[in-house]
C-alpha cells in the first residue's frame, strides 16, 4: 500500500479557512476598537495608531475587517445549511419516489432556475426589508436548485441498488430507507457542492451589502467596500483590503471543495496509486 500524498488543495483551503474562522470567532478580543466607533481623522492612511487606516467617518478599518469576517461566515454557513435542507429534501423525494412527485419537483426547480438569481435575491430582500434574516432567506432560496438536482440524480442511481432492495425485503419503511440507506451514500458529492455554496453565499451577501440591502446594524466586507467606493482614488485601501479578504476566503473555500472532490474521485485516486 502506497503512502497517501498530501492533498495540497484540501490542506491549504482547510488551514486558511480555519484561520479566518478563528479570527471571526475571536473578533471581540482581537479587534483593537469598536468597528462603529468614530476614533480618528477620516481617511487616515495605514500606519500609526490605526494599522490599516480609517474610513470616511474615522472608524478603524482593521476592526471592521475582523468583525466583518463574522458576518460573512455566519451568513454563508446559515444560508448554505438552509439551502441544503431544501435541496436535499426535494431532491430525495423526487429521486426516490419518481413519477408525479419527480415531475412536480423538477418543474418547481426549473421555475427557480430560470429566474436570475441575484435579481431574485434583491427582490426578496427588498420585500422582506434589509436585515440578517432576510439576507439568509434570500440567499438560501436562490442557491438550493443545484443541490436538489444533484440529490435527485444520486437517488435515481442508488434506489435500485442491491442494498436498497435488501432493505425493502427486510420491511424497512420509505423514511428509513431514504435516511439510513440512500442518503449517506448520496452525501459525498453534496458536501463538495455545499462547500462551494458557502463561497457563493458570501459573495452574494457582499454584493447585497455593497448595494445597501444588508442589515444596516452589522458591518461586513461588502458594506465597507460599498461605503468607500466614492473615495477609491483617494483611499484605495478601504476597498482593496476588504476585497482581498473576500478573495482569500472564497479561494480557500474553493480549494477546500476541490480537495474534497479529489479525495472522493476514484479515478484520481487510482492515478495517484491510492488504495480505495
Give the DSSP letter string of 122-182: HHHHHHH-SSHHHHHHHHHHHHSHHHHHHHHHHHHHHTTSHHHHHHHHTT--HHHIIIIII
What are the pLDDT digits (tens) for 27-50? Answer: 889 888 888 888 888 888 888 788
54-72: average pLDDT: 90
Q: Percent of the chain scored above 90 by pLDDT?
A: 30
CA atoms within 13 A on the CB side of 125: 27
For residue 214, how far is the Cα from the chain centroid? 16
Pick the range with the lowest mean pLDDT from 37-51, 79-93, 107-121: 37-51
Cell of 55: 474610513
Instruction: Return the pLDDT at 187.
Output: 86
Average pLDDT over residues 106-134: 88
Average pLDDT of span 21-28: 91
Burial (CB count within 10 angstroms: exposed 0-12, middle 13-18, buried 19+), residue 167: middle
Lowest mean pLDDT among 18-22, 90-94, 205-209, 211-215: 211-215
* Predicted local confidence at residue 275, as pLDDT: 42
Q: What percent of the chain has pLDDT over 70?
A: 92
Domains of the chain: 9-27+53-271 (1.10.3720.10)
| pLDDT tens per residue, range 147-195 | 999 999 999 888 888 888 888 888 888 888 888 888 888 888 888 888 8
* Alpha carbons 51 and 59: distance in angstroms, whole number: 12
Amino acid at each position: 500500500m502506497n503512502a497517501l500524498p498530501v492533498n495540497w488543495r484540501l490542506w491549504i483551503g482547510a488551514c486558511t479557512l480555519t484561520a479566518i474562522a478563528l479570527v471571526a470567532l475571536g473578533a471581540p478580543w482581537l479587534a483593537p476598537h469598536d468597528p462603529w466607533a468614530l476614533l480618528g481623522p477620516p481617511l487616515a492612511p495605514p500606519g500609526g495608531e490605526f494599522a490599516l487606516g480609517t474610513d470616511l467617518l474615522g472608524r478603524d478599518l482593521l476592526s471592521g475587517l475582523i468583525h466583518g469576517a463574522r458576518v460573512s461566515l455566519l451568513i454563508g454557513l446559515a444560508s448554505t445549511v438552509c439551502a441544503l435542507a431544501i435541496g436535499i429534501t426535494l431532491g430525495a423525494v423526487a429521486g426516490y419516489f419518481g413519477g408525479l412527485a419527480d415531475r412536480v419537483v423538477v418543474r418547481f426547480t426549473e421555475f427557480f432556475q430560470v429566474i436570475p438569481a441575484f435579481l431574485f435575491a434583491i427582490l426578496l430582500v427588498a420585500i422582506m426589508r434589509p436585515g440578517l434574516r432576510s439576507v439568509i432567506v434570500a440567499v438560501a432560496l436562490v442557491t438550493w436548485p443545484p443541490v436538489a438536482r444533484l440529490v435527485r440524480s444520486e437517488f435515481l442511481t442508488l434506489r435500485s441498488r442491491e442494498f436498497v432492495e435488501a432493505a425493502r425485503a427486510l420491511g424497512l419503511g420509505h423514511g428509513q430507507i431514504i435516511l439510513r440507506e440512500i442518503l449517506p451514500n448520496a452525501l459525498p458529492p453534496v458536501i463538495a457542492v455545499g462547500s462551494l455554496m458557502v463561497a457563493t453565499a458570501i459573495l452574494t451577501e457582499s454584493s447585497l451589502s455593497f448595494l445597501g440591502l444588508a442589515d444596516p446594524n452589522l458591518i461586513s466586507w461588502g458594506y465597507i467596500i460599498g461605503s468607500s467606493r466614492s473615495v477609491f482614488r483617494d483611499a484605495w485601501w478601504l476597498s482593496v483590503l476588504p476585497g482581498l479578504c473576500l478573495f482569500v476566503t472564497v479561494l480557500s473555500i474553493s480549494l477546500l471543495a476541490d480537495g474534497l472532490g479529489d479525495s472522493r474521485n476514484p479515478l484520481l485516486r487510482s492515478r495517484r496509486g491510492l488504495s480505495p
